[in-house]
Amino acid sequence: MKRIDYLSVRAWTPGWLMLMAGSAVIIALAGAAVLFMEHQGHHVTGMTNQVVWGMPHVFAIFLIVAASGTLNVASIGSVFGREPYQPLGRLSALLAMALLAGGLGVLVLDLGRPDRLIVAMTHFNFKSIFAWNVILYSGFFAVVGVYLWTMLDWRMKRAYKPAALTAFVWRLVLTTGTGSIFGFLLARDAYNSAVMAPLFIAMSFAFGLALFILFLLGTATALERSLSLDLLRRMGKLLALFAAANLYFVALQHGTALYMADRGAIEAFILLNGGIYTILFWGGQVLLGGIVPMALLFRSQATRCNIRFASLMVVAGGLAQVYVILIGGQAFPLTLFPGMEASSGFMDGQVAAYAPTLAEILLGLGGCALALVITIVGISAFRILPAALGPVEASE
Amino acid sequence: MTQASSRRDLLKGAVLGAVAIAPGLTLIAPAAQARPAGSAASAANRWGLLIDTSKCDAGCTACVDACKTEMGLPALDRPATDAQYIRKVDVKDPKTGHQHSLPVMCQHCAKPPCVDVCPTGASMKRADGIVLVDRHICIGCRYCMMACPYKARSFAHEDQSNQKAHNPRGKGCVEGCTLCVHRIDAGGRPACVEACADTGRAAMIFGDLNDANSEISRRLSKQASSRIRADLGLDPAIRYQGI
Amino acid sequence: MGMRVVMLALLLVLMPWQGARAAEAGPQFPKAQGQCVEDAGTMRRHHFDFLKHQRDDTMREGIRGAKHSLKDCVSCHAAHKDGKAVPVNAPGQFCAACHDYAAVSVGCFTCHATTPGEGKP
Ligand code: SF4
Ligand code: SF4
């Protein structure tokens, strides 16, 4: 096997400082937003008694789902033995932990009582999929941390394979857990379906790989390290495949729901007359997040620029997808009396309005910035990034 | 004071009820009794309501108003975020135009999804079937609100003041109908039921579903009743007639 | 020898003054009406344990009427001014006085009523 050199990134260079300062500003703004929301209470956000989870949760779920997806790159190299991916294992594990930390940070800071985090750690209701997720998430850090260690330290070489396998299995369980948060909501027509878990796994594959490609392209440019177009195209093809899988499960989700007479109303809402949700579904999730990147990436002559754009679109489409699932599913009223028209002073039978506020968006962006900072500190402190990933082809 | 008078009303109600339902029969309709101090709620009881929607009419909000007063729920005039333990829902059959109106509150499910999903165990079912939020350990994640099929819960979206001593509530926690657990423990009946009897249309009765001799059980054994979304199989303690 | 006597005398003279000063600097709060359910020392050291224990019993088991009730604390310890109860967590009042002095925040009163009875101010 070819020898791979890894080099840590030089810290304190002007570019490094600028990136860190920029992220720090976003994180500070997010902190201010949290203080504001917690002090005033959630009535200053767009969230209500109807739409109880809002924009922070869109970001949090996106980051958490993407986190387990980025780990795939490492698994493809180790568990599935694909050699071109092996040099990327370290970055993949680091990015996975960073994204998860960012997502969890957002989730925790949006709690009504974030000061009681310790309660969440000490009181477990084992029937709750949420409580299981707390364990799965903490375990993820441990498992992936060990995995990363086995990659960094040659003395740990023997543990590498088992660690890789554990991490791979763990991430599948973790995403199943995240998807099941929705799948178990039996009363919500938009969610109650076993398809939710595999759908979330497909989503995680796509979002995670897209973020990974974007980060890799960014570092290659910023550090002037080589990154072969061949490798990029390979990853691009994989991304297209994942985007297709995602679309397939989306089709399955809506297709099966359309067969159930009582799901007709919610399906019509998302697919036909839901206003912003319908637009985001077709325009954002399906077109930008699925069809456009597939069209770009399945071409054999995809350029670096194509791949960057396609990855960006997968991320944008992914945010739209989570938004449609999460907010769209809550905006649609619960059915208390099937077949009847209901109305009340508590918005029964009414589509709930939701508009994210600036504070919520800032909190979400803060999570992304946190993930970025962790990753950059990681690649500066450890030898994570390969010194070179093949020669740069002149085809650009 | 309120409790003493509510007990009196209850006894009166029970006597009247017994007379009205079974004239000529000497039925012992035992009124709910205050649990002795120091004893825990028991699984021998299951508290519930029976609501006759044919009596309930759309204009009447006696139960909702009584709840707000009893539980100290302020009207901040923010309908999307204000706390709501009980609401009146107007239901219309689009095919026939038939309309009726009914109060909906926490249904005190025997298999409550809110309890199943709560990560900390703050959502809990007491031995006597009353579902409560232990706000001492609620972290405000709102997963229970996502899970409840009846939209029965509210999130305290802002700082609260002037709370009632029997209904502590504050920003950042989830809350809902307690079935007036403080009154039940003192041998009374929920504020909504009392208000419905006094100033409403007397559409609600409260009682022990586990006690075959209670008025509610006797009526349920003789007359048809149903639950909202019975198809979900959660076995709510709130029964309705005429829906 | 002489020096020692002088020191001792000084100490004896100063000690009560010291004590008085400490009392002055300590938290000051209105006197309660009635007799506490425990002696003051036990209460000072353990009131939070008592309250927490009973809170779980009452909230989760439905056990009512036990003696360590926050409601009862409030009803004995709230001061009255112009015929109205003063919230126990107002500055200088029973709960706030000590907790401010010890710089320990009280979590109870974001939710619990701070005045006796129905909780109206
Ligand atoms: S009605 Fe909702 S809040 Fe009440 S017990 Fe059932 S699921 Fe829980
Ligand atoms: S909001 Fe509170 S009661 Fe509801 S699920 Fe979360 S911790 Fe449990």
pLDDT in tens, A358-372: 999 999 999 999 999
- What are the tens digits of pLDDT across the range A138-187? 999 999 999 999 999 888 888 999 999 999 999 999 988 888 888 778 77
Q: What is the pLDDT of residue B3?
A: 43
Q: What's the pTM value of the predicted model, to 2 decimals?
A: 0.89
How large is the average pLDDT for residues B194-212?
Answer: 96
Residue B28 has pLDDT above 60, yes or no: no
Minimum-distance CB partner of B92 among A127, A330, A341: A341
How many other C-beta atoms can be found within 10 angstroms of the C-beta atom of residue A18? 10
Residue A394 has pLDDT above 70, yes or no: no
Task: Write out chain C residues lying below 8 Å of B163, CB-based.
Answer: 111-113, 119
H/E segment holding residue B104: strand B99-105
Residue A63 has pLDDT above 50, yes or no: yes
Residue C98 has pLDDT above 60, yes or no: yes
- Nearest residue of B to residue A333, measured between CA atoms: B151
Angle between helices A55-78 and A129-152 (to 10 degrees): 40
C-beta B114 within 6 A of ligand 1:
yes
CB A243 within 8 A of CB A200: no
Phi, psi angle pair for B30, to nearest 5°: -70, 125
Phi, psi angle pair for A374, to nearest 5°: -60, -45
Give the whole-angstrom CA distance, residue A219 versus residue A213.
10
Contact A340 B120 (CB under 8 A): no
Residue nearest to atom 7 of ligand 1 (CA): B148
Distances (CA, A) of B225 to B112, B216, B221, B242: 20, 11, 9, 7
Looking from the CA of residue B140, the nearest atom of ligand 2 is 1
Give the whole-angstrom CA distance, residue B226 versus residue B140.
32
What is the average pLDDT value for chain B, to the nearest integer? 88
Looking from the CA of residue A128, the nearest atom of ligand 2 is 5
Does A261 contact B at CB distance below 8 Å?
Answer: no
Q: What is the pLDDT of residue C54?
A: 93
Return the higher-pLDDT residue of C16 and A127.
A127
| Four-point Cα dihedral A39, A43, A45, A49, nearest 10 | 130
C-beta B238 within 6 A of ligand 1:
no
How large is the average pLDDT for residues A345-359?
Answer: 93
Rounded to 5°, angle at Cα A192 from A191 and A195: 85
Rounded to 5°, angle at Cα A362 from A359 and A363: 85
Q: What is the pLDDT of residue A191?
A: 85
Q: Which of B 94-133 lie inside 8 A of A, CB atoms?
A: 94, 104, 113, 115-122
Residue C76 has pLDDT above 80, yes or no: yes
Q: What is the pLDDT of residue A250?
A: 95
CB A198 within 8 A of CB A292: no
The fraction of chain A above a pLDDT of 90, given in percent, is 70
Q: Which ligand sits closest to the CA of A134?
A: 2
Contact A111 B84 (CB under 8 A): no
Q: What is the pLDDT of residue C7?
A: 60
> Which amino acid would we find at residue A54?
G
Structure tokens at A62: 């996106």
Helix, strand or coil, per DSSP, at residue A286: helix
Residue C11 has pLDDT above 80, yes or no: no
- Work out the pLDDT band at C16, boundaries 50, 70, 90: low
Distance of CA A198 to the CA centre of its chain: 15
- What are the tens digits of pLDDT across the range C20-58? 454 556 788 888 888 899 998 999 999 999 999 999 999
- What are the tens digits of pLDDT across the range A48-61? 999 999 999 999 99
- Nearest residue of A to residue B173, measured between CA atoms: A112
Distances (CA, A) of B239 to A148, A333, B90, B109, B219: 57, 22, 17, 11, 11
**Ordered alpha helix ranges (H), A87-155:** 89-109, 117-122, 129-152
Looking from the CA of residue B123, the nearest atom of ligand 1 is 8
What's the DSSP call for residue B35?
Answer: P
Q: Which ligand sits closest to the CA of B121?
A: 2
CA dihedral sign, ordered C95, C98, C101, C107: negative
Does B40 contact C at CB distance below 8 Å?
Answer: yes
Residue B10 has pLDDT above 60, yes or no: no
Q: What is the pLDDT of residue A196?
A: 85
CB B113 within 8 A of CB A381: no
Q: What is the pLDDT of residue A259?
A: 86
Q: Please give the distance, rounded to the nearest whole angstrom, from the Cα atom of residue A111 to the centre of ligand 2.
A: 10
Contact B165 C110 (CB under 8 A): no
Counting every residue written for chain C, the total comes to 121
Minimum-distance CB partner of B135 among C61, C111, C121: C111
Query: For residue B161, what are the contacts with CB-CB under 8 A and spacing of at least 6?
Result: none
* Superfamily name with CATH number, domain A6-386: Formate dehydrogenase/DMSO reductase domain (1.20.1630.10)
CB A62 within 8 A of CB A207: yes
Q: Which domains does chain B have, with CATH numbers?
A: 1-31 (no CATH), 39-241 (3.30.70.20)
Q: Could you tell me which of A169, A321, A310, A180 has the C-alpha nearest to residue A241?
A: A310
Return the higher-pLDDT residue of B76 and A55.
A55
Rounded to 5°, angle at Cα A242 from A148 and A172: 45
Rg (CA), chain A: 21
How large is the average pLDDT for residues B98-125?
Answer: 95
Model ipTM value = 0.90
- Nearest residue of B to residue C110, measured between CA atoms: B170
Q: What is the pLDDT of residue C5?
A: 62
How many other C-beta atoms can be found within 10 angstroms of the C-beta atom of residue A60? 25
Minimum-distance CB partner of A125 among B119, B146, B232: B119
- Work out the pLDDT band at B234, boundaries 50, 70, 90: very high
Q: Please give the distance, rounded to the nearest whole angstrom, from the Cα atom of residue A379 to the centre of ligand 1.
A: 48
Q: What is the pLDDT of residue A147?
A: 94
Looking from the CA of residue B234, the nearest atom of ligand 1 is 6
Contact A334 B90 (CB under 8 A): no
Rg (CA), chain B: 18
Does A187 contact B at CB distance below 8 Å?
Answer: yes
Q: Could you tell me which of B5, B70, B14 has the C-alpha nearest to residue B205?
A: B14
Q: What is the pLDDT of residue B125?
A: 97
- What are the tens digits of pLDDT across the range A303-332? 999 999 999 999 999 999 999 999 999 999
- What are the tens digits of pLDDT across the range B117-156? 999 999 999 999 999 999 999 999 999 999 999 999 999 9
Task: Write out chain B residues lying below 8 Å of A127, CB-based.
Answer: 115-117
Counting every residue written for chain B, the total comes to 243
How large is the average pLDDT for residues A24-32?
Answer: 97
Residue B129 region by backbone torsions, left for phi larger than 0, else alpha for psi between -120 and 50, else beta:
left
Q: What is the pLDDT of residue C118?
A: 59
